[in-house]
Structure 1
């Protein structure tokens, strides 16, 4: 095929990917979005309003634990829609309590802004009487899907510069045909875009290394590396891992290929310049978001999040930088976000269900991510990855050269080596961390595995395996299984588990949270309630939306922890996350658990909500 044909196929893959993702979350009833598609997931209730808040106020007190760029992108269509923005008042409210829905008072206290009451701000912005949360969500998700698709095509174009069109197209297919990718590309969350931008940054760094060694012009790849690394760091704070990872891979690559201390010194100097440029771009971007922040309140924010045990001189330096100028002020705000993430990861403030147990800050153990990896990806994709891994190991072992030469051959392929080093470091940190709330947290590693698999398949495309069976035949068979699985999974990509994981109906028995239940079925519960003429309904659902907006005034929050059931005949809707957390809590008695209602099960709404009727 010609290069043009490859590009056309890549564009088609990206477009189909975007359309499927969009329809999976919006549904088809666009005239009545309140009952169409997926409801706002837990994190989106904060992210979408935060983005609009940044663009309108140029302040960054709300949701500072995530960088701004994805939230900004989600808010771009809102500048045209011009939804109502709650007024932020400095009037003192010492005994403030968040009001319940419907929100008649749209004034938001300044103290709540500076203390990052992001959930109230999100609910007030989205669900006040002057806003339409479903229209806002529709356009914000469309914006995110559009940009994610553009970046995905850029990944294909960038990758083709080193691996060629076919390997890049194969990698693109593995990404776009995966339920895991589709589930997260369509939401206003950080993981997919962050992963793609990190990998593009690594690709351009590898291009730079190759041109540097070959004494070719390096300005374009050097600037491209700076741009995409900066964008990656502006999507998610965990992306900061990419800097030491690419530095290490580059250092080893330069040493192995050049064996010159002078070249290592030059590399070190250039990488320092690259790092400074990356953080300068971050500072400039953040400057727009912090220009209206009060310095004293920002210092208080810094003080609250400055890690215990860090030297006081560091705090004083950052405090002084805040008062310096708006650009350095932006850099400090970025550092504050890093501190917040560090604190959360180390504290592991969570309550997660995994394989029949509920875990807190101690974490679910080292098997959490491996189990999810082998149950959340489709069987066709897993078979192809396993086949590719076996092929790579076999070919590596079969080469009739010394082990040292084999390792050298790996290192002198800058992209494969850089991807491997980054994935190894990222995975090592993830597996030893106690903070575990979803497979999405290792998405960069998962996508890198997709790409490395595609590379292996391409290298041995026409190699015979058995008789007339070739590598390409294995790929087409697995691709068919992947496509079939993805088609049959529509639209429940977030709750997808493969056959061994129990499927979309039984996957909640392995893990919940963003792996399965993120509050996406609330609209479907509202539809079921209306179609079945249900009056009073008690709910125990994992969500951050005010449920009365969808379920009406006869909705009431409920928790069986009390051991007291509602009146006979009442309906109780329980989401999978809350159900598992309740049933597997060791401190609860049998009469406090939802298993007491197992004989009174009525129906299942979507994949994640169980409805019971009190006997």
Structure 2
């Protein structure tokens, strides 16, 4: 066996081990976290597309990923679809999702876990793709392993791979489209052109914000040509002006993407894409509630939100590695690097401009470009031996930090933020609390009591599914009446408040729980549920007992 072959096999073994680690950590996340806010709707919508042949349910998100998530149920033990609820509620997706996941006669996890594993497989695809791109870009197996390591050690990628969120599919297809165009610039071929167009079409079929990906690729093409590159159709005459050649390439790529996108709607339902896009462009008119940053609430958001967020949510090992490579400037001189940097910058800029400040998931497609970039530490961008040592240190730092967030990576914050409790001072929403914490609450109550609690829960998971007894407080997300019971006057008075409700982000009165915010919680569960024992505080108990359920 040659030395080169042995090195390749060793690299393959390491990558396989890292991907296996990512999957195993994902399985722990699946078991430890309940349904997040939108998951019942997404799963029911995908199942409805198979069951009814219509794409009418939940049109504000494209159907591609929802179809994939529901496929294990459709081709497995098909649960009943709640047609009666759909008729009674005029196709209200919240009630349909609630009925499908919680009233089918099966445990919610039996329906949810197979669908989540589809997303976890897409997350593994991202891990492998960034490793391959880093290997090709830096011509270094160590860099390829480094990119895989950064991806595996990012709690944000893991968290969004383990729930039914469209962001991970968008991320995979975005990176694939950019990578294939990057390869195309070195060796144009019809196969790479078709592959890039299909990947871009799948990104547009995953999430409407993929329009920013298309703009980013266009901007990257312009930068590439202005810096002396040539982007033309395969076998195009060399004397065709570069601007015209670029336009012909972009047109062909766009046609392939458009046909692919139409195919995700079965062609005949393609008009639904336009309706969904219109909803997203006018989403402020539909009332998305408040957004939160640095202790302030706003309905319009902030242009600098993601600039504040990324240094708090990214593992610092990844952040430092990216800065170290960026300071060398060596990589920036190559024209082809436009397809690594420009789409990410354009996507980030447009996400910031949109001010849809709901969490790091909005800019998730930017993160894989950082994994590839930071892996350049080992490529000789600086001294090769020193760079490899720095890469190992950054990966170890990222890995140790990530382990602290398991098995609740949604609420991960790095050391700069001070963990999930510290991070809540700066940002909230799906960065911390997406309704995932009821399994952790059930385990806590089984171990510590009491039998009945005061509860303000943010989310659409069903407390009845866990046997949790509670007196409802003002909350957000529950489908149907709040239910519950009264806490006996002579019992322990324990109140549990979701992080988003504690901050009042979606409540009618944002100050409902302001009096609790400075108290030290007895426990923080899943990073998102704050437990306070107020038994000895008579005044606080009186406050609780007069709060309405809504």
Fold match (TM-score > 0.5) = yes
Q: In structure 1, how many angstroms separate the alpha carbons of the residues matched to 2:83 and 2:66?
A: 20
1:557 and 2:493 correspond: no
Q: In structure 2, how many angstroms separate the alpha carbons of the residues matched to 1:249 and 1:585?
A: 44
1:381 counterpart residue number: 318
1:435 to 347, 356, 373: 356
Q: Is the 8 A contact 1:6 1:165 kept in 2?
A: no
2:303 counterpart residue number: 366
2:261 counterpart residue number: 282
2:146 to 170, 179, 201: 170
> What SS does structure 1 have at the residue aligned with 2:439?
helix
> What SS does structure 1 have at the residue aligned with 2:229?
helix
Q: In structure 2, how many angstroms separate the alpha carbons of the residues matched to 1:65 and 1:572?
A: 36
Q: In structure 1, how many angstroms separate the alpha carbons of the residues matched to 2:50 and 2:506?
A: 43
1:574 and 2:485 correspond: no
Deviations 1:548-583 (A, max 9, x none): 32244x43421299xxx9774443221111101279
Q: In structure 2, how many angstroms separate the alpha carbons of the residues matched to 1:600 and 1:513?
A: 21
5 Å-filtered alignment, 1:92-103, equals none
Cα pair distance change 1:257/1:358, threshold 3 Å:
closer
Deviations 1:566-607 (A, max 9, x none): 77444322111110127999974xxx4352596695543332
> What SS does structure 2 have at the residue aligned with 1:517?
coil
1:198 to 145, 167, 174: 174
1:228 to 180, 191, 199: 199
Tell me how far 1:239 sits from its aligned partner.
Answer: 1.0
Deviations 1:29-83 (A, max 9, x none): xxxxxxxx11111121211221111122221111111122222222122124434
Q: Is the 8 A contact 1:144 1:187 kept in 2?
A: yes
1:460 counterpart residue number: 381
1:250 to 221, 224, 244: 221
Cα pair distance change 1:148/1:606, threshold 3 Å:
closer
Deviations 1:459-515 (A, max 9, x none): 326347xxxxx1222111222222222223321311111122121333222211110
Cα pair distance change 1:163/1:587, threshold 3 Å:
closer
1:266 and 2:187 correspond: no
Q: In structure 1, how many angstroms separate the alpha carbons of the residues matched to 2:263 and 2:393?
A: 49
Cα pair distance change 1:330/1:520, threshold 3 Å:
same
Structure 2 gaps of 5+ residues are 231-237, 477-485, 539-550
Q: Is the 8 A contact 2:60 2:276 kept in 1?
A: yes
Q: In structure 1, how many angstroms separate the alpha carbons of the residues matched to 2:508 and 2:191?
A: 56
Tell me how far 1:219 sits from its aligned partner.
Answer: 1.3
1:611 counterpart residue number: 531
Q: In structure 2, how many angstroms separate the alpha carbons of the residues matched to 1:19 and 1:611?
A: 29
> What SS does structure 1 have at the residue aligned with 2:504?
helix
> What SS does structure 2 have at the residue aligned with 1:494?
helix
Please report the TM-score for the alignment, with normalisation by the length of structure 2: 0.85
Q: In structure 1, how many angstroms separate the alpha carbons of the residues matched to 2:405 and 2:475?
A: 32
1:473 and 2:394 correspond: no
2:109 counterpart residue number: 134
1:518 counterpart residue number: 434
Tell me how far 1:537 sits from its aligned partner.
Answer: 2.6
Deviations 1:433-478 (A, max 9, x none): 22200012111222212212223542326347xxxxx122211122
2:548 counterpart residue number: none
Q: Is the 8 A contact 2:134 2:372 kept in 1?
A: no
Cα pair distance change 1:152/1:583, threshold 3 Å:
closer
Task: Give the aligned length.
Answer: 510
Tell me how far 1:121 sits from its aligned partner.
Answer: 0.9
Cα pair distance change 1:596/1:159, threshold 3 Å:
closer
Cα pair distance change 1:456/1:330, threshold 3 Å:
farther
1:67 to 62, 66, 75: 62
Tell me how far 1:161 sits from its aligned partner.
Answer: 4.1
1:499 counterpart residue number: 415
* RMSD (Å), alpha carbons: 2.9
1:331 counterpart residue number: 270
> What SS does structure 2 have at the residue aligned with 1:423?
helix
Q: In structure 1, how many angstroms separate the alpha carbons of the residues matched to 2:524 and 2:377?
A: 43
Q: In structure 2, how many angstroms separate the alpha carbons of the residues matched to 1:583 and 1:136?
A: 28
Q: In structure 1, how many angstroms separate the alpha carbons of the residues matched to 2:166 and 2:421?
A: 26
Q: In structure 2, how many angstroms separate the alpha carbons of the residues matched to 1:495 and 1:133?
A: 22
> What SS does structure 2 have at the residue aligned with 1:555?
strand
Deviations 1:89-113 (A, max 9, x none): 5xxxxxxxxxxxxxxxxx4317622
Q: Is the 8 A contact 2:351 2:363 kept in 1?
A: yes
> What SS does structure 1 have at the residue aligned with 2:265?
helix
Structure 1 gaps of 5+ residues are 27-36, 90-106, 213-217, 288-326, 397-406, 465-469
1:109 counterpart residue number: 87
